[in-house]
Amino acid sequence: MGFGRYVGARVLWAAVVSLIIVTVTFLLISASPNPAVQRAATQAALQGGDPATAAERARELRGLNEPLHVRYFDFVRSIYTLDWGWSVSRSQPVMEAVTQALYYTAQYSIPWTILTVILGPLVGVYSAANMYSWKDHAATGFAFFGYAIPNFFFGIVLLLIFGVWLEWIPITYNTDVAVFSVENAIQLAVPVFVLVTGSIGAVMRVSRNESAEFQNADFMKTAKAKGVSPLRAYAYHVMRPTLVPLSTTLVGQLLALFLGASLLVEVVFAIPGLGRLTYEALLAQDMSLVLGTTLFFTFVAVIGNLLEDLVFTVLDPRISFDDR
Amino acid sequence: MSLKFFICPLVLLVVLWRNIEDRDDSRHVGRRQWLSALGLAGAVTLAGCSGNDDGGGGGSDNSGSGEIELPDFPRFGVDDLYGPDAARTLARRAFEQSEYDYSFDGDAMVTPESDQVEIDIYHSAGQETSQLTADFIAQELGQNLGINVTVEAIDGTRFNNEYWTGEPQGGTDTVNGEEVTWENPTPQNPGPRSVTSNEAWDMSIVFGLNTYPLNPLTNEAFFDGANPFYNPVGYYPQFDAQGLFEEARQATSVEELRESFVEIFENLAYEQPYITLLFSDDIIGYNPELEGPIENFSNGWDFPAWYEGEPNVSGSYDTVTSARFTTLNPLFNTEDGAGDAIARALDQGYTFDENQDYFPLLYNMSTEDGEVWTFDVRESLQFSEPYGQVTAEDFVYLVRELHQADWAPTAASSSWDGVTVEQTGEFQFEATLESSNILWPKTYDPLLYPIPRDLVEPYVEEEDVEGLQQDEELLELQFTGNLGAYELTAWNRGSGTEYVRNDEYYLRDIDEGPDLFSEGPLFEEASISVVGEQASRLGALETGEADSAAIPPEQYESYDQDDSVTVRQVPTPYNTIISVNQRANGWNAGPGNLFQLVPFRQALAAAISKQDLIDGVYRGLASPHFTWQPRWSEFYPETDE
């Protein structure tokens, strides 16, 4: 199988996976009571009307009386045409809510991801190269500190020091400033720092242990014997094989971090991003928005896995297309 | 500022509960606050809270055998009506009334089986103040009445669903010798005492309630006989509550009203349907440069006259809030916080000044008999183009076609049930009530937002609720013309609202109110930022990024001594009470239900020192609560003090 066909097959598979997810979601929603219909019935009861008639009318208005397959095709069409409904807890279309939140999340998560992906393996390989020296212990200590300290607590402490005492950074997040501006960099510096310290630990430890395997491998000895500079040797001969197993877990890890860690940091720094959006949608039982954010993360996971599969083949030429 | 949202009886439970949650939640989150974390604020301990200095143990069986004469307006929990003597004397009266043989054995109150009385008290899980209050109550009831109280934490939603409310079943029971039927049972009063919630419970401080000091008639939802709208505890009044509420409804003067209410509130103080503890204050921190805030229930009524430094137009008024807004559509909003955000850009019909007197904003209301009310709309009111001038027709259309329509679940729909509204002139309309109510404005029911008829008419014709809810002009307040102090420039759903000064604000040209209204508002800009974490909100207040923020009571002292913040204590009508379950699944200590006996509830009230609770747990930031009104209410019973 050639690279082109392999990519084509993976993309097709990703599309099938997403359709399965959308179908299961539709079935679950169809089986659960519609909150809008319940609200209409309650309202009618409170005003002395007939709840059953009101519920029937609400069902009719929302097209819930249509046959299942018609509703299914409508649902699939709306999902793939990005018409994800109306968020009742925010009074705006779900798609708008998700893109607005993504806009703020991206501003800190892109630098965060880049820094984690670059710094994690670098520190890991550096640690491995200086194994059991004070440099290794310092790097390991730093990684464990970041991993161990709860992000929200670390965030509050930094906010107290740099925001309240030193007044270097603003306390309330300003959504008005331009994305590429000094003000934005200043207000995002601490959240990004907190998140990077939180996520770098795991990446650094995995890459330290992985690269420890490779630094005494035969190809490293050969490289050294040929007089390759240590920097080049580590970058080409240690880092590259280290990244293969690392990349298998990176997408999952980062997704978990996006939802979990970013929620707490968004709450502390008042950033109106995706973590808060999802959490608040769940609390408010805002069905459309819960669905929207869940599908968003699902699609990110599907695409992330697709990219991961593709990246494998680039990083490690030994991986054959035919076996997959 | 938007009192409307905790006064409407239909949203009573939801809103009060939210308010309590908000208040307690702020305290709970405060536990994690960085100042506390760094040890700058002390922790409350119960040591010394008891105040029972005379030996502490509640005395022996001989104590409390003296007689107590209760005045018309007894104030339990202070002076002579506090302590083991008073509490045990009252408890003995209850034992005499009970058909079962309860008694004191040494220090302990014992059941007919000679076991010590053991009961539960529930408090809101994870909320420090709630837990400390429950611990204090347990300690006091142990020392002064010999009752072994177990303190239990519970989630508010779970308590509401499983303990507080029940399946409405209705039924009949004999109350004060008369047969009473529960014709319209509600989850909050599902029937007679035999009808109960799913789970058994004894006592709870999970929920507090509103006492409606401006319009006490609303309290008929709690106390109008044994079968009112809201009676989760199964209280049967032993005085003629229905007769007195009927008198109040028929009153044609404030004096007549006061007479009825004083009698009602004296009786409630005596019968203790809920054990009244205290009214806690809202603690608000302000920018010290800010002129305007007052320590009054009506704090904020004259907001257009507030200024910073000098009384001229400058700067920005920025506040922070914990919860984001669900909608800014004035027709559908039921949230307090969003009400404030709307109020920056859109006035409602009227407000109340610092003396709690009616102050006309968009319209003046007058009546001869309390039944027919005339609304005179100001002629200077303008919507944004193309909607033109605000007239009586807009209000009449709003009430008839939206608030009174079955298809449109507007926030004010319950306020206009049974009211006949008629236009009597271009700027005048009349509302006729089903029965007289001279306090009608104080119910906040006749409070209307101005909404252009032309804007809503297409939705009315189609009966399109979703269209109306999602209309951008309504959601983004684009129609507000000269009707608000500021114009809304941006509503970022996650981070809050921003405003600029409205140069055309109609309030500048009215004759009433403070002189500064003629210049108002006195800020160039305003904003409300949604900041979920309390520590961040307080940090913003300290650094001056925010001009106002709520302060948790446990940090009152540190902020009170901080020059960068001015702290105000604003009284509230929300009470902290012990709800005692008088239904069949209450009193799980033994046979009979002592909570049903007035002297026993009096004994509980007399066993708990209100002042020690206020000083020890609430750091002095609360007032004692004796009857179903705060002290500052004009309907509070007279005392010698």
DSSP per-residue string spanning B149-182: EEEEEE-HHHIIIIII------EEEEETTEEEEE
Residue B578's pLDDT is what?
97
Same domain, A258 and A134: yes
Q: Provide the pLDDT for residue B492.
A: 92
Q: Residue B215 in contact with residue B7, Cβ under 8 Å?
A: yes
CATH of the domain at A224: 1.10.3720.10
Tell me, what's the pLDDT at B10?
A: 34
Instruction: Provide the domain count of chain B.
Output: 2
Residues of A in contact with B493 (CB under 8 A): 90-92, 97, 100, 272
A46 and chain B in contact, CB less than 8 A? yes
Residue B154 contacts A where some CB pair is shorter than 8 Å:
no
**Nearest CB neighbour to A270, from listed B470, B493, B531:** B531
**Cβ–Cβ contact A260 with B under 8 A:** no
Mark whether B152 and B250 lie in a shared domain. yes
Q: Within this chain, do residues B457 and B524 fall inside the same structural domain, yes or no?
A: yes
pLDDT in tens, B443-498: 889 999 999 999 999 999 998 988 999 999 999 999 999 999 999 999 998 889 99
For residue B551, what are the domain limits?
Answer: 282-570
Q: Which residues of B touch A173 (CB under 8 A)?
A: 495
Domain co-membership, A119 together with A55: no
pLDDT digits (tens, 9 = 90+) for B28-61: 322 223 222 323 222 333 333 333 333 333 333 3
Mean pLDDT of B66-85: 90
pLDDT tens digits for range B92-131: 999 999 999 999 999 999 999 999 999 999 998 877 889 9
What pLDDT score does B55 carry? 32
From the list B409, B469, B529, the residue facing A270 with the nearest CB is B529
One-letter amino acid of B341: A
Whether B293 is in a domain gets the answer yes
pLDDT above 50 (res B23): no
What's the pLDDT score for residue B541? Answer: 93
Query: Do B335 and B356 reside in the same domain of the chain?
Result: yes
The Cα of A89 is separated from the nearest Cα of chain B by a number of Å equal to: 5
* Bridge partners of residue B278, in order along the sequence: B576, B624
Q: Give me the total of CB pairs closer than 8 Å, taking one residue from chain A and one from chain B.
A: 101
Q: Closest residue of B to A276, CA-based?
A: B494
pLDDT < 50 regions, chain A: 324
User: Are residues B336 and B395 both part of a single domain?
Assistant: yes
Residue B308 and residue B325 share a domain: yes
User: What angle do the packed helices A182-214 and A94-129 form, to 10 degrees?
Assistant: 50
Based on the fold, state whether residues B275 and B364 are members of the same structural domain: no
Smallest Cβ–Cβ distance between A173 and the set B327, B495, B539 belongs to: B495
In a domain, A306, yes or no: yes
**Per the domain annotation, does B630 fall within a domain?**
no
Q: Is B322 on the interface with A (CB under 8 A)?
A: no
Number of domains in chain A: 2
pLDDT value of residue B606 = 97
Final residue belonging to a domain, choices A87, A122, A150: A87
In terms of CA atoms, which chain A residue is nearest residue B325? A90
- Please check the confidence at residue B403 and state whether its pLDDT lies above 60: yes
Interface test with A, best of B495, B499, B525, B562 (most A CBs within 10 A): B495
> How high is the pLDDT of residue B152?
94
For B359, left (φ over 0), alpha (ψ -120 to 50), or beta? beta
% pLDDT > 90, chain B = 65
Domain boundary among A71, A87, A103: A87
Average pLDDT score over residue span B327-342: 91
Please tell me the predicted confidence (pLDDT) of residue B29: 27
The mean per-residue pLDDT over the stretch B390-398 comes to 97
Higher confidence at residue B23 or residue B470?
Answer: B470
DSSP-derived 3-state class of residue B350: strand
Question: Which residues in chain B have Cβ-Cβ distances shorter than 8 Å to A104?
Answer: 494
Cα–Cα distance, B489 to A300 (Å, whole number): 34
Is A323 a member of any domain? no
Question: Within a domain: residue B1?
Answer: no
Of all helices (H) and strands (E), which one includes residue B477?
Answer: none
Same domain, residue pair A81 and A102: no
In terms of domains, do A179 and A206 share one? yes
Residues B130 and B194 reside in one and the same domain: yes
Q: What is the pLDDT of residue B288?
A: 93
Residue B166's φ and ψ, nearest 5 degrees, are -140, 170
A49 and A105 co-located in one domain: no
Write the DSSP symbol of residue B518. G
Asked whether the beta carbons of B356 and B297 are under 8 A apart, the reply is yes
**Comparison of pLDDT for A215 and B607, the residue scoring more:** B607
Long-range contacts of residues B462-470, Cβ cutoff 8 Å, at least 24 apart? B463/B405, B463/B407, B463/B408, B465/B407, B465/B408, B465/B409, B466/A61, B466/A86, B468/B329, B468/B331, B468/B332, B468/B408, B469/A91, B469/B327, B469/B329, B469/B331, B469/B332, B470/A86, B470/A91
The pLDDT of residue A27 is 87
Q: Is residue A131 part of a domain?
A: yes
Q: Are B502 and B487 in contact (CB under 8 A)?
A: yes
| A321 assigned to some structural domain | no
Q: Domain end: B570, B585, B614, which one?
A: B570
State the pLDDT confidence band at B3, using cuts at 50, 70 and 90.
Answer: very low
The domain of A148 spans 94-315
Contact A272 B493 (CB under 8 A): yes
Of B409, B532, B536, the CB nearest to A159: B536
| CB pair distance less than 8 Å for A276 and B409 | no
**Residue B42 pLDDT:** 29
Q: What pLDDT shows up at residue B45?
A: 30
pLDDT of res. B585: 94
Judged against a pLDDT cut of 70, whether residue B133 lies above it is answered with: yes
Domain limit, last residue, from A87, A110, A139: A87
pLDDT (0 to 100) of residue B416: 93
Residue B1: the pLDDT is 37
Residue A270 with chain B: CB contacts under 8 Å: 495, 529-533, 536
Calculate the average pLDDT of chain B. 86
Q: Which residue of B has its CA nearest to A152?
A: B533
Question: A interface mutation test: which of B319, B533, B541, B562 has the most A CBs within 10 A?
Answer: B533
Using CA atoms, how far apart are residues B240 and B264, in angstroms rounded to an integer? 9
Q: Within this chain, do residues A274 and A195 fall inside the same structural domain, yes or no?
A: yes
Residues B234 and B329 in one domain: no
Work out the minimum CA distance from B533 to partner chain A, whole angstroms.
Answer: 5
Same domain for B464 and B366, yes or no, is: yes
Residues A25 and A133 in one domain: no
The tens digit of pLDDT for each residue in B273-323 reads 999 999 988 899 999 999 999 988 889 999 999 999 889 999 999 999 888
Nearest Cα neighbor of B33 from B548, B494, B565, B559 is B559
- Minimum mean pLDDT among B244-258, B336-350, B516-530: which range? B244-258
Whether residues A29 and A134 share a domain: the answer is no
Nearest residue of A to residue B33, measured between CA atoms: A156
pLDDT at position A176: 84
Contacts of A100 in chain B (CB under 8 A): 492-494
Nearest CA in chain B to A36: B466
> Is B260 in the same domain as B312?
no
Quick one: closest CA in A to B408, which residue?
A43
Token pair, residue A280, equals: 């608040």
Q: What is the CATH number of the domain that holds B86?
A: 3.10.105
Query: A67 and A126 share a domain?
Result: no
Task: Report which of residues B376 and B4 the model is more confident about.
Answer: B376
Nearest neighbour of B539 by CB, restricted to A46, A91, A159: A159
End-to-end alpha carbon distance in chain A: 9
Note whether A108 and A61 are same-domain residues. Answer: no
Instruction: Determine whether the interchain pair B546/A277 forms a contact, defined as Cβ–Cβ distance below 8 Å.
Output: no
A193 and A307 fall within a common domain:
yes
In this structure, which amino acid lies at residue A180? Answer: F
Q: How many angstroms separate the CA atoms of B215 and B438, rounded?
A: 10
| pLDDT for res B452 | 97
Residue-level pLDDT at B32: 28
- The answer to whether residue B249 is domain-embedded is yes
B351 and B495 part of one domain: yes
B253 inside domain: yes
Same domain, B209 and B227: yes
**Closest Cα in chain B, distance from residue A172 (Å):** 7
Q: Is B568 exposed, middle or buried (0-12, 13-18, 19+ CB in 10 A)?
A: middle
Contact of B365 with B371, CB cutoff 8 Å = no
Q: Could you report the per-residue pLDDT of B413-440, keeping only the tens digit for each?
A: 888 988 999 999 999 999 999 988 888 9
State the residue for tokens 């809920």: B274
As beta bridge partners, residue B307 has B291
What percent of chain B is helix, strand and coil (3-state, nearest 5)? 30, 20, 50
CA contacts within 13 A on the Cβ side of A88 = 15
Note whether A12 contacts B: Cβ–Cβ < 8 A.
Answer: no
Judged by a CB distance cut-off of 8 A, whether residue B155 touches chain A is no
B83, part of any domain: yes
Residues A100 and A201 in one domain: yes
